[in-house]
Structure 1
Amino acid sequence: MSESWFHWALFSAVFAALTAIFAKLGLDGVDSDYATLIRTGVIFVVLAAIVLALGKWRNPLALPSRSIVFLVLSGLATGASWLCYFRALKLGEASKVAPVDKLSLVLVAIFAVLFLGERPDARSWLGIALVAAGVLILGFRR
């Protein structure tokens, strides 16, 4: 398989979908915050093993300070996202929670324009608008 962002993004979507299903099944009788801690521990162990096995470990304090700041902020945002996501899964149906969570796609596009100077084309904006519309439809109560 060629080294393509699209292939990796598709794999990400598949694993994210499995995350929702496995999490919903695993949350039965378990506090959502505690479940997030367990999940995070598993991720830490697996990623540490991969980084060490591939010889990619380096002193994090040797990284540029700007990178450290933004990686820490990213980690904090990820943790907050996971806590909210698991709480939503505990309270709601995975088939509704996961699509609403994907409102992040719309927000990433907006933030990328505002903070990264990216300029999605009209076709991209159409897709983003359709995702936003889908989230709004899911959000309306019957």
Structure 2
Amino acid sequence: MWILFACLAALSAAVVVTLSKAGIKDVDSSLAFAIQSVLILIVSWSVVIFQGNLPDVTRIERKVWIYLIIAGVVTCMSSLLSFRALKLGNASQVSPITNTSLLFAVILATVFLKEKISWQVVVGALLMAAGAIVIAVSRE
């Protein structure tokens, strides 16, 4: 089931990139991200409330709060940088470069989460990164 959700997330991310690029045409990229963030906040807390998970907030451990807060700050930075890149470049070139995060995620998961990776994962991540770079440096 995780593959289905991952594919749907990838499709959603592609739609977000396309709509965001269209939306920042005549708007500052930081302002556009701030507008989207408000909607993200509303939708995400609505899902938590709808699923009945709001009481779980009080049961989250301090260490988990720290991880989530740091991840939230980095998510914000990532999105602000992505929006700025979209403002300055073509979506078809910016998106592949931002998706080289796959390579970094594999490295970080191996180092910090002690996940075991196979040679296929290494080769696949390197090929995806190489493909992203080829797409990004292509001329129109």
TM > 0.5 between the two? yes
Q: Render the CA deviation track for 1:21-66: whole Å, top value 9, x for unaligned.
A: 0000100110000101011100100111111112110263531001
Describe the SS at the equivalent of 2:122: helix
Q: Name the CA distance, whole Å, in 2 between partners of 1:23 and 1:140.
A: 21
CA RMSD of aligned residues (A): 1.5
Give the aligned residue type for 2:54. W
**Aligned residues, how many?**
139
Of stretches 19-28 and 51-60 in structure 1, the one that deviates more from structure 2 is 51-60
What's the TM-score, normalizing by structure 1?
Answer: 0.92
**Aligned counterparts of 1:33 and 1:59: Cα–Cα separation in 2:** 32
The question of whether the paired residues in 1 share the 8 Å contact of 2:93 and 2:137 is answered with no
TM-score between both structures, scaled by the size of structure 2: 0.93
**Number of the residue aligned with 2:118:** 121
Sequence identity, in percent?
32
**Cα distance in 2, alignment partners of residues 53 and 135 from structure 1:** 38
Residues 1:44 and 2:41 are matched in the alignment:
yes
Distance 1:27 1:58 in 2: 37
Which deviates further from its counterpart, 61-70 or 132-141? 132-141
Following superposition of structure 1 onto structure 2, how do residues 1-142 of structure 1 map, counting pairs within 5 Å?
4-58=1-55, 60-140=57-137
More divergent stretch after superposition (19-28 vs 59-68): 59-68
Bigger mean CA deviation after superposition, 55-64 or 36-45: 55-64
Report if the CA contact (8 A) 2:96-2:136 is conserved: no
Measure, in 1, the Cα distance between the counterparts of 2:81 and 2:28.
12
Mean Cα deviation higher: 70-79 or 53-62: 53-62
